[in-house]
């Protein structure tokens, strides 16, 4: 008997890592609704090469092109033929999610919630649909406090477990070297408006003694390149396995998003030993202790981040580095996996 049958989207690396960890103590079957996505991602973003759990690919193609009815029929057949304690869906936005939840008794239904109060509608038709969906859920695995805030606004009364994560990052072998502050900052993410990247470019245009390396692609890329001054370097798309070099060459990560359900790149920065300046609207901000291993700022007040950057000196930086060194991502990830235990 399976402890969980998990219905999720695509096999991205951080979910595969999480499922590998879960499979050490739980018997799981993961149903991926598609093999890949048409969105531009680094070459190693999607992979099943290191999977150690049982899985099925419902559609051997891009998520955007999947055959929803065929997927639902496949889920129906698998659920009918399998014995399982719980079914876990990774959202409420697909017909596969809705079928999985409404074809089971409520006591078996679990939701891995990665949506936060910042980007989710809680009123009108969308709010009503969320409440209907939640009425069929007995247990929610919420990524963090911003996610739990959403549940409170939707008046969810079931069991809530806080996982403090959305997956597990890759953790390559690491050699720690002594660091010194050189006014080098880095942004890693999609070049789109919700990432607040325009504000960041404008900020560094007014900080000519500081450098900003921008890693990623997106719809604003050409506009941002034309807007940026010479202290801003665009490096394009970088494979996840090569990011360690970028973290090594820079001092501080900035994640300025207007809305971000989590922000795995902050976990990667912590792992590679550098502090982060993180928007308070990012789910991952709860891993940052302000002025200890990074800074938290209001993304709607651009002057705040400029003040933070200008006030950092080598003494403050070394104190942040010490704070980062005391963070244990391994312990956090073990806690994340443990939250999936079935009582």
Residue 260 is classified by DSSP as B
- For residue 107, being part of any structural domain is answered with yes
- For residue 249, being part of any structural domain is answered with yes
The answer on 157 and 18 residing in a single domain is: yes
CATH code at position 231? 3.40.50.2000
Q: What's the domain count of the chain? A: 2
Residue 216 is classified by DSSP as -
The answer on 93 and 236 residing in a single domain is: no
Q: Kindly state the average pLDDT of the residues 74-87.
A: 98
User: Residue 176: which pLDDT band, with cuts at 50, 70 and 90?
Assistant: confident
Q: Return phi, psi of residue 253, to 5°.
A: -90, 145
Structure tokens belonging to residue 148: 């739990």
The answer on 130 and 71 residing in a single domain is: yes
Question: What pLDDT, on the 0 to 100 scale, is given for residue 241?
Answer: 85
- For residue 204, being part of any structural domain is answered with yes
- What are the pLDDT digits (tens) for 35-44? 999 987 777 8
Listing DSSP states for 105-148 in one string gives -GGGEEEEE---TTT---SHHHHHHHHHHHTT-SEEEE-SHHHH
- For residue 77, being part of any structural domain is answered with yes
The answer on 191 and 153 residing in a single domain is: no
The answer on 323 and 207 residing in a single domain is: yes
Structural contact between residues 254 and 187, judged by C-beta atoms closer than 8 angstroms: yes
Task: Between 20 and 238, name the one with better pLDDT.
Answer: 20
Question: What pLDDT, on the 0 to 100 scale, is given for residue 239?
Answer: 87
Boundary residue ending a domain (168, 200, 230): 168
- What are the pLDDT digits (tens) for 209-257? 999 999 999 999 999 999 999 999 999 999 888 899 999 999 999 999 9
For residue 142, give its domain range. Answer: 2-168
Question: What pLDDT, on the 0 to 100 scale, is given for residue 81?
Answer: 97
The answer on 105 and 232 residing in a single domain is: no
- What are the pLDDT digits (tens) for 104-162? 999 999 999 999 999 899 999 999 999 999 999 999 999 999 999 999 999 999 999 99
Calculate ∠ Cα 48-53-58, nearest 5°.
60
Question: What pLDDT, on the 0 to 100 scale, is given for residue 286?
Answer: 93
The answer on 277 and 155 residing in a single domain is: no
Percent of all residues in the chain with a pLDDT value above 70, rounded to a whole number: 100
Structural contact between residues 7 and 100, judged by C-beta atoms closer than 8 angstroms: yes
Residue 177 is classified by DSSP as -
- For residue 306, being part of any structural domain is answered with yes
User: Cα(285)–Cα(255) distance, rounded to whole angstroms?
Assistant: 9
Look at residue 75 and tell me whether its pLDDT is greater than 80: yes
- For residue 341, being part of any structural domain is answered with no
Calculate ∠ Cα 32-37-42, nearest 5°.
115
Structural contact between residues 284 and 263, judged by C-beta atoms closer than 8 angstroms: yes
Look at residue 202 and tell me whether its pLDDT is greater than 80: yes
Boundary residue ending a domain (120, 138, 168): 168
Q: Kindly state the average pLDDT of the residues 166-178.
A: 86
46 bridge partner residues: 12
Boundary residue ending a domain (168, 199, 222): 168
The answer on 198 and 113 residing in a single domain is: no
Nearest alpha-carbon partner for 215 in 245, 238, 198: 238
- For residue 312, being part of any structural domain is answered with yes
The answer on 158 and 128 residing in a single domain is: yes
Strand order in the sheet with 139-142: 54-57, 28-32, 2-8, 84-89, 109-113, 139-142, 159-162
User: Cα(341)–Cα(343) distance, rounded to whole angstroms?
Assistant: 6
| SS3 label, residue 341 | coil
The answer on 315 and 254 residing in a single domain is: yes
Q: What is the mean pLDDT of the chain?
A: 95
The answer on 273 and 160 residing in a single domain is: no
Question: What pLDDT, on the 0 to 100 scale, is given for residue 190?
Answer: 94
Look at residue 270 and tell me whether its pLDDT is greater than 90: yes
User: Residue 167: which pLDDT band, with cuts at 50, 70 and 90?
Assistant: very high
- For residue 260, being part of any structural domain is answered with yes
The answer on 196 and 106 residing in a single domain is: no
């Amino acid at each position: 008997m399976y402890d969980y049958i998990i219905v999720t989207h695509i096999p991205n690396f951080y979910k595969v890592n999480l499922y590998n960890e879960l499979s050490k103590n739980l018997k799981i079957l993961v149903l991926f609704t598609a093999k890949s996505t048409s969105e531009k991602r680094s070459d190693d973003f999607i992979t099943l090469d290191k999977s150690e759990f049982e899985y099925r690919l419902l559609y051997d193609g891009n998520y955007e092109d999947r055959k929803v009815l065929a997927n639902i029929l496949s889920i129906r057949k698998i659920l009918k033929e399998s014995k399982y304690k719980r079914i876990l869906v990774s959202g409420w936005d697909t017909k596969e999610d809705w079928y999985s939840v409404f074809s089971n008794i409520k006591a078996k239904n679990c939701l891995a919630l990665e949506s936060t109060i910042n980007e989710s509608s809680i009123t009108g038709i969308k709010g009503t649909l969320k409440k209907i969906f939640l009425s069929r859920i007995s247990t929610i695995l919420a990524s963090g406090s911003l996610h739990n805030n959403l549940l409170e606004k939707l008046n969810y009364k079931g069991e809530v477990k806080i996982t403090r994560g959305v997956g597990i990052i890759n953790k390559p072998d690491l050699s720690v070297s002594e660091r010194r502050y050189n006014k080098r900052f880095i942004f890693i993410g999609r070049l789109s408006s919700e990432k607040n990247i325009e504000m960041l470019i404008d900020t560094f245009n007014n900080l000519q003694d500081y450098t900003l390396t921008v890693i990623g692609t997106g719809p604003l890329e050409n506009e941002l390149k034309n807007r940026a001054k010479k202290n801003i370097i665009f490096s394009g798309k970088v494979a996840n396995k090569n990011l360690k070099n970028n973290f090594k060459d820079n001092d501080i990560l900035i994640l300025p998003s207007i809305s971000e359900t989590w922000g795995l790149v902050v976990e990667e920065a912590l792992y590679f030993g550098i502090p982060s300046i993180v928007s308070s609207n990012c789910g991952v901000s709860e891993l940052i202790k302000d002025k200890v291993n990074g800074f938290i700022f209001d993304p709607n007040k651009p002057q705040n981040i400029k003040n933070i950057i200008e006030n950092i000196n080598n003494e403050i930086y070394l104190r942040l580095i010490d704070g980062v060194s005391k963070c244990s991502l391994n312990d956090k990830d073990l806690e994340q996996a443990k939250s999936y235990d079935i009582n």
